Chain A
Amino acid sequence: MSQIDLTAPEVGDATLAAEGITVRLSGRTILDDVSFIIARGEFTGLIGANGAGKTTLFRVILGLQAPTHGQVRIDGNSRAGQQVGYVPQKFLLDPDMPVRGRDLVGLGLDGHRFGVALPSRSRRRLVDEMLEAVDAQRFGDARVGQLSGGEQQRILIAHALISAPKLLLLDEPLANLDLRSAQEIVTLLARIAREQQISILISAHEMNPLLPVMDRVVYLAAGRAASGTAEEVVRSDVLSALYGHHVDVLRVHGRIIVVAGTGHDEHAASDGSAGGAVEIV
């Protein structure tokens, strides 16, 4: 059993439909027949350990990695184009970089176009609106490399949103943030999804910060996926089937802890999310 899709919305109104995505790179199977659907305005968490295939899945959705089998449809189209906004995982910028937050946001609008951007009032207003939408007016004129992790995330989200995409992909945006910044970013994203009816797919190895706002979970383990609501997917039987060995799911004070069963130590250790009590908060 490689697919567990419990409450799929109709394919017709899906913002994103992944249909049987398989990716093999130099003999290794990174993704194995992954299918799921994200409806308009839905907030979806892509949960999985490091190496589970999250970034590869994002690259497939962005059209940067051709799948060995299967296809991705975004709002009915097979090409991502400008419909997908993207916030990459690692973003290290030298403090010397002469790029202000608002420059980077502006490049989200027309960074793929040739030539020099002519200053225009409408462009400036749009950048200001985006900075306001992510509460970044205060540091919009500072160099991006000098901002904190949470501030950089806001600038990157504005960069991704300014082209009015249908789908926003964020690769581990909470990984390097302290708890408070992480919660602020999650709240901001939930508000954007609701108010602008943008579908959000956010990857994380730790699902608890997302639980309050997540409409749907796509759980990746060993290249295979299960999707549905958190109650439907994050269960012992479903995850055990996905991992191929016994996994316990504990719910404690509204948090979820995923614990690998004994007897599969080697496998569990190699694939962090089920290796011991990993989902500790």
Chain B
Amino acid sequence: MHQVLRAIVEPGFFSSSPVELAAVVGGVVALVAAAVGLFTVLRGQAFAGEALGDIGAAGGSSAYLIGIAPLWGFVGIAVAAAGVMEMIGIQRARGRDLATGIVLGAGFGLAALFLYLGTTFDNTTGATVTILFGSIFALDRAILPPALALGALAVAIIVACYRPLLLSSVSPDLAAARGVRIRWIGSLYLIAMAVAVALSAVTIGAILSTALLIGPAATALQLTSRPGRAIAVAGLTGLGAMWLGLLLAYDSYDWPPLHRGWPVSFFVVTLVLIAYLAARVMTRRRARR
């Protein structure tokens, strides 16, 4: 029995301070991403979320260059990008892809520049991998207060705007007729999304950040037809994937081929995908009955 447990949970997993920090930050990020992500899926803004994550790479890498914490780089540039998307016209369905694409292209261009400068002057390639694919076990403890505050901000926006946000996601026409200022609500939501994507980028990397935003929410949509419950299911899915991913990544230090540990991001994203596929299979079965 002890042997089996030992194989699942490596000794030291629960007593390691980087693991503890990763579990707390990762858990908060997973919950925030779930609450925000449900609306990303409802509003059909997954592409915008992906663009915010990718442009976040530019923010994270520039933060490395000027020597501030990457979180601020991620947040700063994602919120700025959200503002640009809003100005170009993300509120109109047809303008949305255009706005997103323009911002996405600019973001990758900047990221290429900053990452190049970073590796040239600093002579470290580690930053590139960290920015793009995350490295949650290497987080600085100082990240905890700002991460919690930003997470609270994003969730506060969702809670405060919940009803008009839900109505305008279901039908902008209905919301406008009820007197909802759909553009304001849309802009506030974009800020919440930028923050959630930035937090997600710190943990599992800029490139993979939307997986945590979209995946658990999409899984929940398969399983429940109530919006409130969908957020709860998405939260649990995200949290489960994050914590199980951390556990597996910690275990993987013993795994071939390198015995150096596999990236957390890989496990989290794979677990989210498995959860989504499992949910699909379950609903198919239910539908057939």
Mark A residues whose CB is within 8 Å of B.
62, 64, 80-82, 84, 86, 88-91, 93, 96-100, 103-104, 107-108, 110-117, 141-144, 156, 159
- The residue of chain A having its C-beta at the shortest distance from the C-beta of B168 within the complex is A111
- Distance in angstroms between the alpha carbons of A137 and B162 in the assembled complex: 25
Q: Taking A96-B221, A111-B178, A112-B179 as contacts, is the C-beta distance between A103 and B163 under 8 angstroms?
A: no
Give B222-242 as 1s and 0s: 1 = Cβ < 8 Å from A's Cβ atoms. Answer: 101111111000000000000
Q: Is the interface of A mostly helix, strand, loop or mixed?
A: loop
19 A-B contact pairs sorted by A residue (CB < 8 Å):
A62-B176, A82-B179, A88-B171, A88-B173, A96-B221, A98-B38, A98-B224, A98-B226, A100-B226, A107-B167, A108-B178, A111-B174, A112-B167, A112-B179, A113-B163, A114-B160, A114-B164, A117-B163, A156-B174
Q: Which residues of A contact B230 (CB under 8 A)?
A: 98
- B residues near A82, Cβ cutoff 8 Å: 178-179
A22 to chain B, nearest CB (A): 22
Are A99 and B225 in touch, CB under 8 angstroms? Answer: yes
When A and B form their complex, what is the total count of cross-chain residue pairs whose Cβ atoms lie within 8 Å?
94
| B163 with A81: CB separation less than 8 A | no
What is the bound-complex CA distance between A120 and B226, given in angstroms? 16
Contact across chains for B225 and A111 when beta carbons are under 8 A apart = no
A99 to B228, CA, bound (A): 10
User: A93-B170, A103-B227 given as contacts; is B177 within 8 A of A64 (CB)?
Assistant: yes
Q: Is the CB of A98 within 8 A of B174?
A: no
Q: Which residues of A contact B171 (CB under 8 A)?
A: 88, 91, 93
CB distance from A201 to the nearest CB of B (A): 13
Interfacial residues, chain B to chain A (CB-CB below 8 A): 38, 42, 159-164, 166-167, 170-171, 173-180, 220-222, 224-230
Contact A86 B170 (CB under 8 A): no
Provide the residues of chain B in CB contact with A89, threshold 8 Å: 173
Look across to chain B and name the residue whose beta carbon is closest to the beta carbon of A92.
B171
Q: What's the Cα separation between A144 and B176 when bound, in Å? A: 19
Q: Nearest Cβ in chain B — how far from A141, in angstroms?
A: 8
Task: Give every chain A residue within 8 A of B162 (Cβ-Cβ).
Answer: 114-117
Chain A nearest CB from B179 CB (Å) reads 5
Whether A107 pairs with B170 at a CB distance below 8 angstroms is yes
Residues of chain B lying within 8 A (CB to CB) of residue A96: 221-222
Known: A107-B170, A159-B174. A112 touches B225 (CB 8 A): no
**Chain B residues closer than 8 Å to A97, beta-carbon distance:** 42, 170, 221
A99 and B163 contact, Cβ closer than 8 Å, known pairs A82-B179, A111-B174, A111-B180: no
Bound Cα distance from A156 to B159, whole angstroms: 25
Query: How far, in angstroms, from A107 to B42 measured CA to CA in the complex?
Result: 16
Give the residue of B38, B164, B227, B228 whose beta carbon is less than 8 angstroms from that of A112.
B164
The answer to whether A112 and B178 touch (CB under 8 A), given A98-B225, A98-B226, A143-B225, is: yes
Considering the chains assembled together, what is the distance between the CA atoms of A81 and B170 in angstroms? Answer: 21
Residues of B within 8 A of A99 (CB): 166, 170, 225, 227
How far apart are the CA atoms of A98 and B170 in the complex, in Å? 10
Asked, given contacts A93-B171, A98-B230, whether A86 binds B163 with beta carbons under 8 Å apart, the answer is no
Does A98 contact B173, Cβ atoms closer than 8 Å? no
Chain B residues within 8 Å of A112, by CB: 163-164, 167, 175, 178-180
Q: Which residue of A lies closest to B223 (CB)?
A: A98
Q: How close is B287's CB to chain A, nearest CB, in angstroms?
A: 10
Task: List the B side residues contacting A98 at CB < 8 Å.
Answer: 38, 42, 220-221, 224-227, 229-230
- Which chain B residue shows the least CB distance to A144? B170
Chain B residues, Cβ within 8 Å of A104: 170
A143 to B225, CA, bound (A): 6
* Nearest-Cβ distance from residue B172 to partner chain A, whole angstroms: 9
A81 CA to B227 CA in the complex, in Å? Answer: 27
B residues near A107, Cβ cutoff 8 Å: 163, 166-167, 170, 174, 178
- Is B166 a contact partner of A115 (Cβ separation < 8 A)? no
Which A residues are in CB contact (< 8 Å) with B161? 114
Among A86, A90, A103, A115, the residue within 8 A (CB) of B177 is A86
- Closest Cβ of chain B: how far from A234's Cβ, in Å? 29
Q: Which residues of B contact A115 (CB under 8 A)?
A: 159-160, 162-163
Report the Cα distance A84→B226, complex, angstroms.
27
Contact A103 B179, beta carbon cutoff 8 Å: no
Known: A86-B174, A98-B224, A114-B163. 19 other contacts (CB 8 A): A64-B176, A81-B179, A84-B177, A88-B171, A96-B222, A97-B221, A98-B230, A103-B166, A103-B226, A104-B170, A107-B167, A112-B163, A113-B164, A114-B160, A114-B164, A115-B159, A115-B163, A116-B159, A142-B225
